[in-house]
Amino acid sequence: MVAQDAHAHAGPQGFIRKYVFSLDHKVIGLQYYFLALVAVFVGMFLSLLMRIHMIWPTAMLPLVGEIKPETYLQLLTMHGTIMVFFVLTTAPQSGFGNYFLPIQIGAPDMAFPVLNMLSFWTTFVAFVVMLAAFFVTGGAPLHGWTGYAPLSALTNSGPGEQLGADLWITSIAIFCIASLMGALNFITTILDLRAKGMTMMRMPLTCWAWFITAILGLLAFGVLLSAGILLLLDRNLGTSFYVPLVVVNGQVMGHKGGSPLLWQHLFWFFGHPEVYIAILPGMGVASQLLSTFARKPIFGYKAMVYALMSIGVLGFVVWGHHMFMSGMSPYSAFAFSIMTMAIGVPSAIKTFNWLGTLYKAKIRFQTPMLYAIGFVSLFVSGGLSGPFLAQPVLDIPLHDTAFVVGHFHLIMGVAAIFGMFAGTYYWFPKMFGRMMNESLGRIHFVITLIGTYSIFMPMHYLGMAGQPRRYSQFTELAYLQHLMPLNRFITYAAIVTIAAQFIFVINLFWSMFKGPKASDNPWEATTLEWTTATPPPHDNFGGHTPVVYHGPYEYSVPGAAKDYVMQTDPAGVTAH
């Protein structure tokens, strides 16, 4: 490990250096968090418009007017893109990771503070460019968040496929650059800046999750960046990477020899690791909270670490299961199917270890714990439909239906968001020095959990009944009429669930200023962030570097004075 003094930088003086272009990882973490908070409300609003259009296709909405079929596809594209990139990738990793990773390993800051600042502002620029696509001639693109060529590779393939699509691709390319900078910073920080005694196997599982997520990001985002650059070349410079000889509106395009499947391979080679980039930090947070609030050591710490590593490795060899529909060789499909079944094994190990942690525990059912348990519930429920889609023979009839929408929203969407809620309620006292309101937190949890199950569980049934994805309206289709009551139910559930998120926002901002003062360790947890002041000082530990003597989950220790042993307690204290 390198000397940490080299990375210390002076506390900022002016407002701009302290809060805007800050080098402090804690401020940068909060900047990422609030960027994701804005993005999630934009994404939710777009999904609300889609749900309203599905059951009231002729409704004239204020500000929006009538939603045409192409408008619906634009909403779908931007909802998916904003949620995946600017919420699921941004908040758990860049938000909480930036704030707490250095503190949890006993470092004064991230390894490269300036690079850290640059990565946030690059992400911010990417978000602004993405939103700009709404306001240019033709509007946002309609090629879906996956941007399949040749629809996305030709500028005359539909409304929104002109400048809007160029902005969409450019935004994602900028986001890739920001993510690569962030990933390098995370990896270096964990390898180089751990405090004395903080071996890799004494790191909290949150740090392991952020570390492996950073490695995935480093390997995946470079591929998407390259793919996006090639797509921009096809669209603007007449190259033919993704466009074969095609006829559009009776006119032969000036392309030949390209492969639309090349885009699918490059996109999903990024896209499947991206699923784990979204969910691994949530797994880390759930592990941390289940142990803390069950007052027990995490069940099978090393198994949890190796399961995270296995998910990281296997995540790169399963991308073909998104492409069973593409006419791939049955031999390739069989290989991807086997690997997809295999990746369920480390996920199951983690799930059984979570259950093992809860077994016969004295559980404290506070709001962070409720969200951690909710995360496990959603992860398992969403995961159970995964093995169905891993079989080509089942995936082909289900692939273009609402079944897949229900599956990935449960496991990747709301599961990850429950991880964010858990992290927010848990770390809020450390970040802002005040407690969030417990009653509002519980109300928010109950409505959100019931609401998300009410929205996404029925989608599996709609899919099995044959309801297609991406259709803008179903009211004219006789064979889907019997499914309309269920569609209406989903929309009503979505309206209630979205409304409930304002309870969270009120709780968040009210508690920042008016919440009861928090102690340094309100949850009686053991990791390093609870040993320092609240909120943490500029260099995290007020001028002294902590020394670590214990693992991160020393709860219910026989013979100890309290029911937990801090990582920094002297070595003489009894530990497991």
Do 407 and 386 touch, CB atoms closer than 8 A? yes
Q: What is the CATH number of domain 26-530?
A: 1.20.210.10
Element (H, E) at 321: none
Q: Cite the beta strand spans of 53-158 per DSSP E.
A: 60-61, 65-66
Of 325, 460, 317, 465, the residue nearest 392 (C-alpha) = 325
- Nearest 5°: the CA angle 203, 205, 206 is 100
Taking residue 344's Cβ as centre, other Cβ atoms within 10 Å add up to 17
Kindly state the tokens that stand for 354. 């979570």
Q: What is the pLDDT of residue 145?
A: 95
How far is 67 from 472, CA to CA, in rounded Å?
Answer: 9
Q: What is the pLDDT of residue 473?
A: 86
Q: Please report which residue ranges of 5-112 form alpha helices under DSSP H.
A: 15, 25-55, 69-81, 98-105
Q: What is the pLDDT of residue 530?
A: 95
Q: What is the pLDDT of residue 540?
A: 92
Taking residue 245's Cβ as centre, other Cβ atoms within 10 Å add up to 12
485 to 326, 381, 449: CA distances (angstroms): 33, 23, 22
Q: What is the pLDDT of residue 63?
A: 80
Q: What is the DSSP string of 189-246?
A: HHHH-PPBT--GGGS-HHHHHHHHHHHHHHHHHHHHHHHHHHHHHHHHS---SS--S-
Q: What is the pLDDT of residue 10?
A: 57
Per-residue pLDDT of the chain (576 residues; tens, 9 = 90+): 444 444 555 567 778 888 899 999 999 999 999 999 999 999 999 999 999 999 998 888 888 888 999 999 999 999 999 999 999 999 999 999 999 999 999 999 999 999 999 999 999 999 999 999 999 999 999 999 999 998 999 988 888 889 999 999 999 999 999 999 999 999 999 999 999 999 999 999 999 999 999 999 999 999 999 999 999 999 999 899 999 887 777 777 777 889 999 999 999 999 999 999 999 999 999 999 999 999 999 999 999 999 999 999 999 999 999 999 999 999 999 999 999 999 999 999 999 999 999 999 999 999 999 999 999 999 999 999 999 999 999 999 999 999 999 999 999 999 999 999 999 999 999 999 999 999 999 999 999 999 999 999 999 999 999 999 999 988 888 999 999 999 999 999 999 999 999 999 999 999 999 999 999 999 999 999 999 998 899 989 988 889 999 999 999 988 888 889 999 998 765 556
Chain centroid, CA 79 distance in Å: 14
Q: What is the pLDDT of residue 3?
A: 41
3-state helix, strand and coil shares in percent for the chain, rounded to the nearest 5: 65, 5, 30
Q: What is the pLDDT of residue 265?
A: 96
Q: What is the pLDDT of residue 27?
A: 96
| Greatest Cα-to-Cα distance within the chain, rounded to the nearest angstrom | 82
Taking residue 413's Cβ as centre, other Cβ atoms within 10 Å add up to 24
Taking residue 455's Cβ as centre, other Cβ atoms within 10 Å add up to 24
Do 200 and 552 touch, CB atoms closer than 8 A? no
How far is 60 from 66, CA to CA, in rounded Å?
Answer: 5
Of 17, 312, 25, the residue nearest 193 (C-alpha) = 25
Taking residue 470's Cβ as centre, other Cβ atoms within 10 Å add up to 13
Domain ranges in the chain are 26-530
